[in-house]
Protein backbone atom coordinates (compact mmCIF):
# COMPACT_ATOMS: atom_id res chain seq x y z
CA UNK A 1 0.00 0.00 0.00
CA UNK A 2 2.80 2.40 0.83
CA UNK A 3 4.45 1.67 -2.51
CA UNK A 4 1.18 2.57 -4.25
CA UNK A 5 1.05 5.86 -2.33
CA UNK A 6 4.59 6.64 -3.44
CA UNK A 7 3.76 5.89 -7.08
CA UNK A 8 0.69 8.12 -7.06
CA UNK A 9 2.18 10.97 -5.03
CA UNK A 10 3.91 12.95 -7.83
CA UNK A 11 0.80 13.11 -10.05
CA UNK A 12 -1.16 16.34 -10.31
CA UNK A 13 -4.76 15.39 -9.64
CA UNK A 14 -7.81 17.62 -9.65
CA UNK A 15 -11.57 17.18 -10.05
CA UNK A 16 -11.00 16.53 -13.76
CA UNK A 17 -8.12 15.98 -16.14
CA UNK A 18 -5.31 13.71 -17.17
CA UNK A 19 -3.91 13.48 -13.64
CA UNK A 20 -7.06 11.63 -12.57
CA UNK A 21 -6.78 9.33 -15.58
CA UNK A 22 -3.11 8.62 -14.86
CA UNK A 23 -4.04 7.82 -11.26
CA UNK A 24 -6.74 5.39 -12.35
CA UNK A 25 -4.34 3.80 -14.85
CA UNK A 26 -1.99 2.93 -11.98
CA UNK A 27 -4.79 1.73 -9.69
CA UNK A 28 -5.97 -0.38 -12.62
CA UNK A 29 -2.73 -2.36 -12.41
CA UNK A 30 -3.88 -3.58 -8.97
CA UNK A 31 -7.60 -4.11 -9.59
CA UNK A 32 -9.55 -3.99 -12.88
CA UNK A 33 -11.49 -0.74 -13.22
CA UNK A 34 -14.46 0.35 -15.28
CA UNK A 35 -13.67 3.96 -16.16
CA UNK A 36 -16.47 6.43 -16.89
CA UNK A 37 -16.13 9.72 -18.76
CA UNK A 38 -18.93 12.26 -18.23
CA UNK A 39 -18.95 15.23 -20.65
CA UNK A 40 -18.65 18.85 -19.57
CA UNK A 41 -22.08 20.44 -19.25
CA UNK A 42 -23.85 17.27 -18.12
CA UNK A 43 -26.47 18.05 -15.51
CA UNK A 44 -25.86 15.97 -12.38
CA UNK A 45 -28.50 16.61 -9.73
CA UNK A 46 -28.20 20.35 -8.90
CA UNK A 47 -24.69 20.59 -10.35
CA UNK A 48 -23.14 20.71 -13.82
CA UNK A 49 -20.00 18.84 -14.83
CA UNK A 50 -17.36 21.58 -15.18
CA UNK A 51 -14.78 22.14 -17.83
CA UNK A 52 -11.75 19.89 -17.76
CA UNK A 53 -8.50 21.28 -16.41
CA UNK A 54 -5.06 20.16 -17.50
CA UNK A 55 -1.67 21.64 -16.74
CA UNK A 56 1.70 21.07 -18.38
CA UNK A 57 3.99 23.55 -16.65
CA UNK A 58 3.97 26.53 -14.31
CA UNK A 59 6.61 28.65 -12.65
CA UNK A 60 7.69 31.98 -11.25
CA UNK A 61 11.13 33.01 -12.51
CA UNK A 62 13.40 35.90 -11.53
CA UNK A 63 15.09 38.22 -14.02
CA UNK A 64 17.99 35.75 -14.34
CA UNK A 65 15.61 33.00 -15.43
CA UNK A 66 15.87 31.04 -12.18
CA UNK A 67 12.61 29.34 -11.25
CA UNK A 68 11.94 30.40 -7.69
CA UNK A 69 8.63 28.49 -7.66
CA UNK A 70 8.35 25.46 -9.95
CA UNK A 71 5.35 23.22 -10.61
CA UNK A 72 7.78 20.52 -11.74
CA UNK A 73 9.07 20.28 -8.16
CA UNK A 74 5.59 19.79 -6.65
CA UNK A 75 2.06 19.84 -8.01
CA UNK A 76 1.03 21.77 -4.88
CA UNK A 77 2.84 24.87 -6.15
CA UNK A 78 -0.06 25.82 -8.44
CA UNK A 79 -3.50 26.91 -7.32
CA UNK A 80 -5.75 24.09 -8.50
CA UNK A 81 -7.70 24.96 -11.67
CA UNK A 82 -5.52 28.00 -12.38
CA UNK A 83 -6.38 29.61 -15.71
CA UNK A 84 -3.50 30.22 -18.15
CA UNK A 85 -1.26 33.22 -17.55
CA UNK A 86 1.95 34.47 -19.12
CA UNK A 87 3.09 37.82 -17.78
CA UNK A 88 5.89 39.75 -16.18
CA UNK A 89 4.95 41.72 -13.08
CA UNK A 90 6.51 43.26 -9.98
CA UNK A 91 6.47 41.27 -6.74
CA UNK A 92 4.12 43.84 -5.23
CA UNK A 93 1.47 42.90 -7.80
CA UNK A 94 2.28 39.19 -7.73
CA UNK A 95 1.73 38.92 -3.98
CA UNK A 96 -2.05 38.97 -4.41
CA UNK A 97 -1.74 35.61 -6.22
CA UNK A 98 0.56 33.93 -3.72
CA UNK A 99 -0.55 31.60 -0.92
CA UNK A 100 1.59 30.64 2.08
CA UNK A 101 1.33 29.27 5.61
CA UNK A 102 3.01 31.77 7.91
CA UNK A 103 2.45 29.50 10.91
CA UNK A 104 4.44 26.74 9.15
CA UNK A 105 6.93 28.75 7.09
CA UNK A 106 8.65 25.77 5.42
CA UNK A 107 5.43 24.08 4.24
CA UNK A 108 3.55 24.66 0.97
CA UNK A 109 -0.26 24.88 1.28
CA UNK A 110 -2.82 23.19 -0.99
CA UNK A 111 -5.34 25.63 -2.46
CA UNK A 112 -7.89 25.46 -5.28
CA UNK A 113 -10.30 27.66 -7.22
CA UNK A 114 -12.56 25.19 -8.98
CA UNK A 115 -15.55 27.31 -9.85
CA UNK A 116 -14.10 30.82 -10.05
CA UNK A 117 -11.60 31.69 -12.82
CA UNK A 118 -8.37 32.46 -10.97
CA UNK A 119 -4.69 31.78 -11.07
CA UNK A 120 -2.16 31.58 -8.33
CA UNK A 121 0.83 29.87 -6.76
CA UNK A 122 1.41 28.19 -3.41
CA UNK A 123 4.84 28.40 -1.81
CA UNK A 124 6.63 28.26 1.50
CA UNK A 125 6.60 31.46 3.52
CA UNK A 126 10.39 31.12 3.80
CA UNK A 127 10.63 31.20 0.00
CA UNK A 128 8.44 34.28 -0.24
CA UNK A 129 10.40 36.08 2.47
CA UNK A 130 13.62 35.50 0.52
CA UNK A 131 12.31 37.04 -2.71
CA UNK A 132 13.73 40.50 -3.44
CA UNK A 133 11.53 43.19 -4.88
CA UNK A 134 11.57 43.41 -8.65
CA UNK A 135 9.98 41.91 -11.71
CA UNK A 136 9.14 38.23 -12.10
CA UNK A 137 8.08 36.13 -15.05
CA UNK A 138 4.85 34.32 -14.24
CA UNK A 139 3.65 31.44 -16.39
CA UNK A 140 0.86 28.90 -16.02
CA UNK A 141 0.65 26.61 -19.04
CA UNK A 142 -2.81 25.15 -18.50
CA UNK A 143 -6.04 24.59 -20.38
CA UNK A 144 -9.58 24.90 -19.13
CA UNK A 145 -11.86 23.58 -21.85
CA UNK A 146 -14.81 21.31 -22.52
CA UNK A 147 -13.85 17.75 -21.78
CA UNK A 148 -14.91 15.15 -19.22
CA UNK A 149 -15.11 14.29 -15.56
CA UNK A 150 -13.51 10.89 -14.97
CA UNK A 151 -14.39 8.35 -12.29
CA UNK A 152 -14.02 4.59 -11.99
CA UNK A 153 -15.63 1.57 -10.36
CA UNK A 154 -14.45 -1.87 -9.34
CA UNK A 155 -17.02 -4.51 -8.40
CA UNK A 156 -16.41 -7.61 -6.28
CA UNK A 157 -19.38 -9.91 -7.01
CA UNK A 158 -21.20 -11.30 -4.01
CA UNK A 159 -23.75 -14.00 -3.31
CA UNK A 160 -26.55 -11.42 -3.49
CA UNK A 161 -26.99 -8.29 -5.66
CA UNK A 162 -27.41 -6.04 -2.61
CA UNK A 163 -24.39 -3.73 -2.48
CA UNK A 164 -21.90 -2.23 -0.10
CA UNK A 165 -20.19 0.83 -1.59
CA UNK A 166 -16.66 1.83 -0.64
CA UNK A 167 -15.82 5.34 -1.81
CA UNK A 168 -12.56 7.28 -1.95
CA UNK A 169 -11.71 10.63 -3.56
CA UNK A 170 -9.25 11.05 -6.41
CA UNK A 171 -9.09 14.84 -6.70
CA UNK A 172 -6.21 15.89 -4.46
CA UNK A 173 -2.71 16.37 -5.89
CA UNK A 174 0.41 15.45 -3.88
CA UNK A 175 -1.23 14.69 -0.52
CA UNK A 176 -0.37 11.26 0.86
CA UNK A 177 -2.81 10.85 3.76
CA UNK A 178 -5.59 12.86 2.19
CA UNK A 179 -6.29 11.15 -0.27
CA UNK A 180 -3.76 8.56 -1.41
CA UNK A 181 -3.85 6.39 1.72
CA UNK A 182 -7.61 6.03 1.25
CA UNK A 183 -7.13 4.99 -2.36
CA UNK A 184 -4.48 2.46 -1.34
CA UNK A 185 -6.53 0.94 1.48
CA UNK A 186 -9.62 0.72 -0.76
CA UNK A 187 -7.63 -0.97 -3.51
CA UNK A 188 -6.11 -3.60 -1.24
CA UNK A 189 -9.45 -4.12 0.49
CA UNK A 190 -10.94 -4.90 -2.93
CA UNK A 191 -8.17 -7.41 -3.59
CA UNK A 192 -8.73 -9.07 -0.22
CA UNK A 193 -12.49 -9.38 -0.76
CA UNK A 194 -11.92 -10.87 -4.23
CA UNK A 195 -10.04 -13.76 -2.62
CA UNK A 196 -13.26 -14.92 -0.96
CA UNK A 197 -16.92 -15.09 -1.94
CA UNK A 198 -18.52 -12.29 0.05
CA UNK A 199 -22.22 -12.25 0.82
CA UNK A 200 -22.75 -8.72 -0.42
CA UNK A 201 -21.61 -7.29 -3.73
CA UNK A 202 -18.92 -4.69 -3.05
CA UNK A 203 -18.71 -1.66 -5.34
CA UNK A 204 -15.58 0.48 -5.05
CA UNK A 205 -15.95 4.05 -6.29
CA UNK A 206 -12.90 6.14 -7.21
CA UNK A 207 -14.19 9.64 -7.87
CA UNK A 208 -13.28 13.30 -7.34
CA UNK A 209 -14.67 14.74 -4.13
CA UNK A 210 -18.17 16.28 -4.10
CA UNK A 211 -18.77 16.62 -7.85
CA UNK A 212 -17.65 13.02 -8.45
CA UNK A 213 -19.92 11.49 -5.82
CA UNK A 214 -22.78 13.70 -7.00
CA UNK A 215 -22.16 12.54 -10.57
CA UNK A 216 -22.14 8.89 -9.47
CA UNK A 217 -25.40 9.35 -7.58
CA UNK A 218 -27.03 11.12 -10.53
CA UNK A 219 -26.02 8.35 -12.92
CA UNK A 220 -27.09 5.54 -10.57
CA UNK A 221 -30.30 6.94 -9.09
CA UNK A 222 -32.44 4.13 -10.54
CA UNK A 223 -30.39 1.41 -8.82
CA UNK A 224 -29.62 3.20 -5.58
CA UNK A 225 -32.03 0.91 -3.71
CA UNK A 226 -29.48 -1.88 -4.12
CA UNK A 227 -27.05 0.02 -1.88
CA UNK A 228 -27.59 -1.32 1.63
CA UNK A 229 -24.41 -0.10 3.33
CA UNK A 230 -21.40 2.07 2.57
CA UNK A 231 -18.11 3.43 3.80
CA UNK A 232 -16.06 6.45 2.75
CA UNK A 233 -12.30 6.01 3.24
CA UNK A 234 -10.05 9.04 3.79
CA UNK A 235 -7.01 10.04 5.86
CA UNK A 236 -6.30 6.34 6.29
CA UNK A 237 -2.55 6.30 6.89
CA UNK A 238 -1.49 8.69 9.66
CA UNK A 239 -0.45 7.71 13.18
CA UNK A 240 -3.64 8.87 14.87
CA UNK A 241 -6.33 6.61 16.31
CA UNK A 242 -9.10 5.24 14.12
CA UNK A 243 -12.12 7.53 13.83
CA UNK A 244 -15.55 6.50 12.60
CA UNK A 245 -18.06 9.16 11.60
CA UNK A 246 -21.57 7.76 11.64
CA UNK A 247 -24.09 8.06 8.84
CA UNK A 248 -26.73 10.79 8.98
CA UNK A 249 -29.18 8.15 10.21
CA UNK A 250 -26.90 7.21 13.09
CA UNK A 251 -28.59 3.82 13.52
CA UNK A 252 -27.68 2.32 10.15
CA UNK A 253 -26.33 -1.21 10.27
CA UNK A 254 -22.90 0.00 9.16
CA UNK A 255 -22.87 2.36 12.16
CA UNK A 256 -23.67 -0.45 14.58
CA UNK A 257 -21.12 -2.77 12.99
CA UNK A 258 -18.30 -0.21 13.15
CA UNK A 259 -19.13 0.72 16.75
CA UNK A 260 -19.17 -2.96 17.75
CA UNK A 261 -15.99 -3.94 15.91
CA UNK A 262 -14.02 -0.94 17.15
CA UNK A 263 -15.07 -1.58 20.74
CA UNK A 264 -14.43 -5.33 20.53
CA UNK A 265 -10.99 -4.80 18.99
CA UNK A 266 -9.88 -2.76 22.02
CA UNK A 267 -8.18 -0.35 19.62
CA UNK A 268 -7.89 3.26 20.65
CA UNK A 269 -10.66 4.89 18.63
CA UNK A 270 -13.28 7.58 18.39
CA UNK A 271 -16.88 7.47 17.14
CA UNK A 272 -18.32 10.79 16.00
CA UNK A 273 -21.81 11.95 15.15
CA UNK A 274 -22.66 12.88 11.58
CA UNK A 275 -22.14 16.44 10.41
CA UNK A 276 -22.98 17.71 6.90
CA UNK A 277 -19.34 18.66 6.31
CA UNK A 278 -16.37 16.49 5.50
CA UNK A 279 -16.03 13.97 2.70
CA UNK A 280 -18.54 12.35 0.37
CA UNK A 281 -20.57 10.68 3.13
CA UNK A 282 -22.54 13.93 3.09
CA UNK A 283 -23.55 13.30 -0.55
CA UNK A 284 -24.53 9.66 -0.02
CA UNK A 285 -26.38 10.62 3.19
CA UNK A 286 -28.23 13.61 1.70
CA UNK A 287 -31.96 13.40 2.55
CA UNK A 288 -33.13 12.30 -0.90
CA UNK A 289 -30.84 9.26 -0.85
CA UNK A 290 -30.43 8.79 2.92
CA UNK A 291 -28.01 5.90 2.47
CA UNK A 292 -26.39 4.18 5.43
CA UNK A 293 -22.88 5.41 4.62
CA UNK A 294 -20.34 6.30 7.28
CA UNK A 295 -16.77 7.53 7.03
CA UNK A 296 -13.64 5.85 8.34
CA UNK A 297 -10.39 7.71 8.86
CA UNK A 298 -7.60 7.94 11.35
CA UNK A 299 -7.12 11.58 12.36
CA UNK A 300 -10.17 13.33 10.85
CA UNK A 301 -9.91 15.97 8.12
CA UNK A 302 -8.33 19.23 9.27
CA UNK A 303 -7.45 17.54 12.56
CA UNK A 304 -3.68 17.47 12.04
CA UNK A 305 -1.31 20.35 11.17
CA UNK A 306 -0.04 18.62 8.02
CA UNK A 307 -3.55 18.54 6.51
CA UNK A 308 -3.64 20.13 3.03
CA UNK A 309 0.07 20.96 3.07
CA UNK A 310 3.30 19.65 1.58
CA UNK A 311 4.03 18.00 4.96
CA UNK A 312 1.35 15.44 4.08
CA UNK A 313 3.91 13.45 2.12
CA UNK A 314 4.68 9.69 1.91
CA UNK A 315 6.79 9.91 5.07
CA UNK A 316 3.72 11.13 6.96
CA UNK A 317 1.83 7.88 6.32
CA UNK A 318 3.06 4.48 7.46
CA UNK A 319 2.58 0.90 6.29
CA UNK A 320 1.59 0.00 9.85
CA UNK A 321 -1.21 2.58 10.03
CA UNK A 322 -2.60 1.65 6.61
CA UNK A 323 -2.44 -2.04 7.54
CA UNK A 324 -4.39 -1.32 10.72
CA UNK A 325 -7.03 0.60 8.75
CA UNK A 326 -7.28 -2.22 6.22
CA UNK A 327 -7.58 -4.81 9.00
CA UNK A 328 -10.39 -2.87 10.64
CA UNK A 329 -12.26 -2.69 7.32
CA UNK A 330 -11.90 -6.43 6.83
CA UNK A 331 -13.11 -7.13 10.37
CA UNK A 332 -16.11 -4.84 9.92
CA UNK A 333 -17.12 -6.28 6.56
CA UNK A 334 -16.76 -9.82 7.93
CA UNK A 335 -19.36 -8.92 10.55
CA UNK A 336 -21.56 -7.14 8.00
CA UNK A 337 -21.41 -10.16 5.67
CA UNK A 338 -22.39 -12.64 8.39
CA UNK A 339 -25.04 -10.57 10.15
CA UNK A 340 -28.38 -12.32 9.60
CA UNK A 341 -31.70 -12.72 11.34
CA UNK A 342 -32.71 -16.28 12.13
CA UNK A 343 -35.88 -18.15 13.05
CA UNK A 344 -35.80 -20.84 15.74
CA UNK A 345 -37.29 -24.02 14.23
CA UNK A 346 -37.79 -25.55 17.67
CA UNK A 347 -39.11 -22.53 19.57
CA UNK A 348 -41.26 -24.31 22.20
CA UNK A 349 -38.91 -24.81 25.09
CA UNK A 350 -35.18 -25.26 24.83
CA UNK A 351 -34.24 -27.93 22.26
CA UNK A 352 -32.06 -30.81 23.44
CA UNK A 353 -28.59 -29.91 22.27
CA UNK A 354 -26.80 -32.97 23.67
CA UNK A 355 -28.52 -35.55 21.49
CA UNK A 356 -27.65 -33.49 18.44
CA UNK A 357 -23.98 -33.63 19.32
CA UNK A 358 -23.73 -29.88 19.81
CA UNK A 359 -22.24 -30.07 23.29
CA UNK A 360 -19.74 -32.71 22.22
CA UNK A 361 -18.62 -30.45 19.36
CA UNK A 362 -17.38 -28.00 21.95
CA UNK A 363 -15.13 -30.49 23.73
CA UNK A 364 -11.58 -29.30 24.13
CA UNK A 365 -12.35 -25.70 23.17
CA UNK A 366 -10.91 -23.12 25.50
CA UNK A 367 -14.09 -21.06 25.06
CA UNK A 368 -16.49 -24.00 25.39
CA UNK A 369 -18.61 -22.30 28.05
CA UNK A 370 -18.77 -19.09 26.01
CA UNK A 371 -19.72 -21.04 22.88
CA UNK A 372 -22.44 -22.89 24.80
CA UNK A 373 -23.86 -19.60 26.03
CA UNK A 374 -23.77 -18.27 22.46
CA UNK A 375 -25.92 -21.19 21.31
CA UNK A 376 -28.47 -20.48 24.02
CA UNK A 377 -28.53 -16.76 23.20
CA UNK A 378 -28.94 -17.41 19.46
CA UNK A 379 -31.80 -19.83 20.11
CA UNK A 380 -33.44 -17.36 22.46
CA UNK A 381 -33.28 -14.39 20.09
CA UNK A 382 -33.91 -16.19 16.80
CA UNK A 383 -37.42 -14.85 16.39
CA UNK A 384 -36.95 -13.31 12.95
CA UNK A 385 -36.56 -9.86 14.49
CA UNK A 386 -33.09 -9.98 16.02
CA UNK A 387 -29.84 -10.17 14.07
CA UNK A 388 -26.63 -11.86 15.17
CA UNK A 389 -25.27 -8.39 15.92
CA UNK A 390 -28.23 -7.88 18.25
CA UNK A 391 -27.30 -11.15 19.96
CA UNK A 392 -23.64 -10.15 20.31
CA UNK A 393 -24.51 -6.72 21.71
CA UNK A 394 -27.11 -8.02 24.16
CA UNK A 395 -25.10 -11.00 25.36
CA UNK A 396 -21.72 -9.27 25.45
CA UNK A 397 -20.25 -12.21 23.52
CA UNK A 398 -17.82 -11.83 20.59
CA UNK A 399 -19.59 -11.67 17.24
CA UNK A 400 -17.44 -14.49 15.83
CA UNK A 401 -18.53 -16.76 18.67
CA UNK A 402 -22.18 -15.89 18.09
CA UNK A 403 -21.88 -16.43 14.33
CA UNK A 404 -20.14 -19.77 14.93
CA UNK A 405 -22.99 -20.84 17.20
CA UNK A 406 -25.50 -19.88 14.51
CA UNK A 407 -23.58 -21.96 11.96
CA UNK A 408 -23.64 -24.98 14.27
CA UNK A 409 -27.33 -24.59 15.09
CA UNK A 410 -28.17 -24.12 11.42
CA UNK A 411 -26.27 -27.29 10.49
CA UNK A 412 -28.24 -29.15 13.18
CA UNK A 413 -31.53 -27.94 11.68
CA UNK A 414 -32.50 -25.88 14.69
CA UNK A 415 -32.53 -22.41 13.05
CA UNK A 416 -32.81 -21.03 9.55
CA UNK A 417 -31.84 -17.64 8.13
pLDDT at position 173: 97
Quick one: 233 and 352 in the same domain? no
pLDDT at position 369: 85
Quick one: 354 and 319 in the same domain? no
Which residue, of 111, 145, 179, is where some domain finishes? 145
Quick one: 215 and 357 in the same domain? no
Which residue, of 319, 338, 357, is where some domain finishes? 338
- CATH classification at residue 386: 1.10.10.10
Quick one: 110 and 139 in the same domain? yes
The whole-angstrom separation of Cα 392 and Cα 300 is 29
Give me the number of domains the chain comprises: 3
> What pTM value is reported for the model?
0.96
CB crowding 386-403: b at 16 or more within 10 Å, else e:
bbbbbbbbebebebbbbb
Quick one: 320 and 353 in the same domain? no
Which residue, of 90, 118, 145, is where some domain finishes? 145
Quick one: 81 and 226 in the same domain? no
Q: List, in order, residues 6 or more apart from 103 with CB less than 8 Å away.
A: none
Quick one: 242 and 356 in the same domain? no
Cβ count near 355 (within 10 Å): 8
Could you give the dihedral angle defined by the CA atoms of residues 348, 350, 352 and 357, in that order, rounded to the nearest 10 degrees? 120
pLDDT at position 368: 76
The whole-angstrom separation of Cα 321 and Cα 296 is 13
- CATH classification at residue 267: 3.40.630.10
Quick one: 249 and 389 in the same domain? no
- CATH classification at residue 101: 3.50.30.90
Per-residue pLDDT of the chain (417 residues; tens, 9 = 90+): 999 999 999 999 999 999 999 999 999 999 999 999 999 999 999 999 999 999 999 999 999 999 999 999 999 999 999 999 999 999 999 999 999 999 999 999 999 999 999 999 999 999 999 999 999 999 999 999 999 999 999 999 999 999 999 999 999 999 999 999 999 999 999 999 999 999 999 999 999 999 999 999 999 999 999 999 999 999 999 999 999 999 999 999 999 999 999 999 989 999 999 999 999 999 999 999 999 999 999 999 999 999 999 999 999 999 999 999 999 999 999 999 999 999 999 999 999 988 888 876 665 566 778 889 999 999 999 999 999 999 999 999 999 999 999 999 999 999 999
pLDDT at position 355: 87
Quick one: 255 and 312 in the same domain? yes
Quick one: 297 and 231 in the same domain? yes
The whole-angstrom separation of Cα 235 and Cα 203 is 20
Quick one: 203 and 307 in the same domain? yes
Please provide residue 34's backbone torsions phi and psi, each rounded to the nearest 5 degrees.
Answer: -100, 115
- CA-nearest of 388, 329, 341 to 198 is 329
Alpha helices in 236-291 (DSSP H): 253-265, 281-284
Note down the domain range covering 183.
Answer: 2-50+148-338
Helices and strands of the chain, counted as H and E runs:
12, 19
The whole-angstrom separation of Cα 291 and Cα 318 is 32
Please provide residue 233's backbone torsions phi and psi, each rounded to the nearest 5 degrees.
Answer: -110, 130
Quick one: 308 and 187 in the same domain? yes
Amino acid sequence: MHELVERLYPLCRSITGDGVRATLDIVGEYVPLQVHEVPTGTQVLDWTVPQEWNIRDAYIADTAGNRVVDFAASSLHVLGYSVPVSRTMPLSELRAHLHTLPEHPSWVPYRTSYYKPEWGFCLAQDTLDALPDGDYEVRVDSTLADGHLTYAEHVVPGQVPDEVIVSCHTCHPSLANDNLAGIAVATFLARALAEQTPYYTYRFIYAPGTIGAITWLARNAERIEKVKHGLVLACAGDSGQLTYKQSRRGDAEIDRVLRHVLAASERSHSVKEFTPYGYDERQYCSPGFNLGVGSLSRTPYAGYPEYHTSADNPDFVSPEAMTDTLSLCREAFAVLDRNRRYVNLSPYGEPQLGRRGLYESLGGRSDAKQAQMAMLWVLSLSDGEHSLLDVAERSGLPFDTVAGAADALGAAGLIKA
